Amino acid sequence: MSSVLPLGITLSPLARLDPRSRVLAAFAFAVGVVWCQSVAALTFACALAAGLAVLARLPPLSTLRRVLAVEGFMLLTLASLPFTMGGEPVFTLLGFAAGGDGLHRAGILLLKSSAVLLATLALLGTLDMPALGHALARLGLPVRFVALFLFTVRYIDVLHREYARLRLAMRARGFRPRASLHCWRSLGHLFGMLLVGSLERSERIDAAMRCRGFDGRFHLLDEHRPGRLDWGFGAVQTASLLLLAVLDVW
Amino acid sequence: MSAHLFQLRDIRFGYDPDHPVLDGVDFALTTGERVALCGANGSGKTTLLHVMVGLLTPSSGSVVAFGRERRCEGDFHEVRAQAGLLFQDSDDQLFCPTVAEDVAFGPLNLGQSRAEARRAADDALAQVGLDGFGHRVTHKLSGGQKRLVALASVLAMRPQVLLLDEPTNGLDRDARARLLGVLASLPQAMVVIAHDDDALAALTRRRVILEAGRLLG
């Protein structure tokens, strides 16, 4: 809705797409990339994802940080692959030979993860959570699942505030985390209290919902229709994925 | 036809059978009437409101609402649309990500179309002075705004009665004044739990006190 944005801010081209188009595009892209095996195709996929990131106007620095954070998680796997997969030795490190097969496989993994991550950040990362939930609902995901997702979005903040309040009250009475039995027991009480509090809150929410006529069915208020932009984007996306497949087979 | 919106007779209820919270409560509310419900902490004020809309089932006694005796969960669906309950903690009441969705939740449950529900939501938001708040994210609102949105979500169902559970609780002076102004402008009959808020009690004509499980007029 462009009407709700402050003056002077224009939407990125991706933001004008129907959220459903973005979910479908992200899913199709991820499946396509995971299926690819050739370096050429995956390099092309990375270029596509980078293009999407530019279209979504992702901030370069923080995006890079996020991508690196995920690559960091995979570091151990990536670093150990060349030494465990065998194949023609390319170089040796501390007497261990790094095989060509493993190196190749590590490179492919790196390309795949970067492409999928970047495209997901561009397509879904810029979508606000309620919009994502509604898009999933309209794509036919079970309403219960979507409701659970939306409840989580709504109440994670309430829970966090409750946690912060309890933590503050503990500190106000001189609690300092230490490796002692007292400390562990107190933290146990804190989380127990949070759990009981959440359960009671969920009962009150349920009561409040029943007061407003809730009968187990969720109705969605907003209605989107895919426009020309969505069909155009879908066509370009399909063509790109076909090209990806051709590159991969070739 | 009786002008009574609610008529409660000899209501008994206890969370623990040895300590009844309500021990023979009689209460009647007529059209357009405004009643302040007072009493100490834990005297059962909230419990009484919850019994009125069927969220709690009394162990004995009868609840007659809008001309019919109400016994089971199904009986109370209609009552809840007619008698809007405002909860003490607005975070319990507002569960949708955006304000518009939350306010339209009730009307959609009543079977209204999306366009009708949207209109009802817009009207209710205008009634509490929050025009144009529809797209705002619920959990980012201030406490006062949350309370007003919760009130709008109740008003959107166009109830005849408002049951307000300490509506000014936890609000600062400005937010309180604003809420009191909105409440004074509404035509509905009301039962207001007014803990020790004189301004709130001033909205009402009658005052009843819950003490030792009984209602004193």
pLDDT tens per residue across all 217 residues of chain B = 457 899 999 999 998 888 899 999 999 999 989 999 999 888 999 999 999 999 899 999 999 999 999 998 888 888 998 999 999 888 888 887 789 988 998 888 888 888 999 999 999 999 999 999 988 988 889 999 999 999 999 999 999 999 999 999 888 889 999 999 999 999 999 999 987 677 787 889 899 999 989 998 7
Which pLDDT does position B36 carry in this prediction?
A: 93
**Which residues of chain A are within 8 Å of residue B92 when distances are taken between CB atoms?**
201, 204-205, 207-208
Residues A78 and A169 grouped into a single domain: no
Stated pTM of the model: 0.72
Residues A37 and A157 grouped into a single domain: no
What is d(CA A185, CA A179) in angstroms, rounded to the nearest whole number? Answer: 11
Has residue A216 been placed in a domain?
Answer: no
pLDDT at A5 over 70: no
Residues A108 and A173 grouped into a single domain: no
Residues A63 and A159 grouped into a single domain: no
CA atoms within 13 A on the CB side of B170: 15
**Minimal C-alpha gap between B213 and chain A (Å):** 23
Residues A146 and A84 grouped into a single domain: no
Interface test with A, best of B103, B109, B122, B131 (most A CBs within 10 A): B109
**Which residues of chain B are within 8 Å of residue A222 when distances are taken between CB atoms?**
101, 114
Q: Which residue of B has its CA nearest to A5?
A: B135
pLDDT at A44 over 50: yes
Q: Which of A224, A8, A74 is nearest to A136 (CA)?
A: A224
Residues A111 and A27 grouped into a single domain: yes
Has residue A56 been placed in a domain?
Answer: yes
> CB burial class (10 A; 0-12, 13-18, 19+) of residue A110?
middle
Is the CB of B87 less than 8 angstroms away from the CB of A213?
no
Alpha carbon B101 to its chain's center: 20
Which pLDDT does position A7 carry in this prediction?
A: 43
Residues A169 and A62 grouped into a single domain: no
Residue B70, chain A, CB below 8 Å: the answer is no
Has residue A162 been placed in a domain?
Answer: yes
Interface test with B, best of A2, A3, A151, A211 (most B CBs within 10 A): A211
Residues A36 and A122 grouped into a single domain: yes
Which pLDDT does position A4 carry in this prediction?
A: 42
Residues A31 and A154 grouped into a single domain: no
**3-class state of residue B6 by DSSP:** strand
**Which residues of chain A are within 8 Å of residue B147 when distances are taken between CB atoms?**
none
Has residue A4 been placed in a domain?
Answer: no
Which pLDDT does position A8 carry in this prediction?
A: 43
Residue A129, chain B, CB below 8 Å: the answer is yes
What is d(CA A244, CA A77) in angstroms, rounded to the nearest whole number? Answer: 26
Residues A41 and A156 grouped into a single domain: no
Which pLDDT does position B33 carry in this prediction?
A: 93
Has residue A136 been placed in a domain?
Answer: no
Q: Which residues of A5-18 are buried (b: 16+ CB within 10 A; e: fewer)?
A: eeeeeeeeebbebb
Chain segment A115-124, per-residue pLDDT in tens: 899 888 888 8
- Give me the percent of chain A exceeding a pLDDT of 70: 88
Categorize the per-residue pLDDT at A6 as very low, low, confident or very high, splitting at 50, 70 and 90: very low
Residues A228 and A207 grouped into a single domain: no
Residues A207 and A233 grouped into a single domain: no
Residue B16, chain A, CB below 8 Å: the answer is no
**Which residues of chain A are within 8 Å of residue B109 when distances are taken between CB atoms?**
212-215, 217, 219
Has residue A5 been placed in a domain?
Answer: no
Has residue A1 been placed in a domain?
Answer: no
**3-class state of residue B71 by DSSP:** coil
Average pLDDT over residues A38-60: 85
Domain of residue A65 covers: 14-127+224-249
Is the CB of A154 less than 8 angstroms away from the CB of B106?
no
Q: Which residue of A has its CA nearest to B138?
A: A154
CA distance to A80, A88, A150, A213, B115, per residue, from A145 (Å): 38, 49, 9, 21, 26
- Domains held by chain A: number: 2
Interface test with A, best of B46, B85, B91 (most A CBs within 10 A): B91
What is d(CA B210, CA A118) in angstroms, rounded to the nearest whole number? Answer: 62
Which pLDDT does position A95 carry in this prediction?
A: 66
Has residue A9 been placed in a domain?
Answer: no
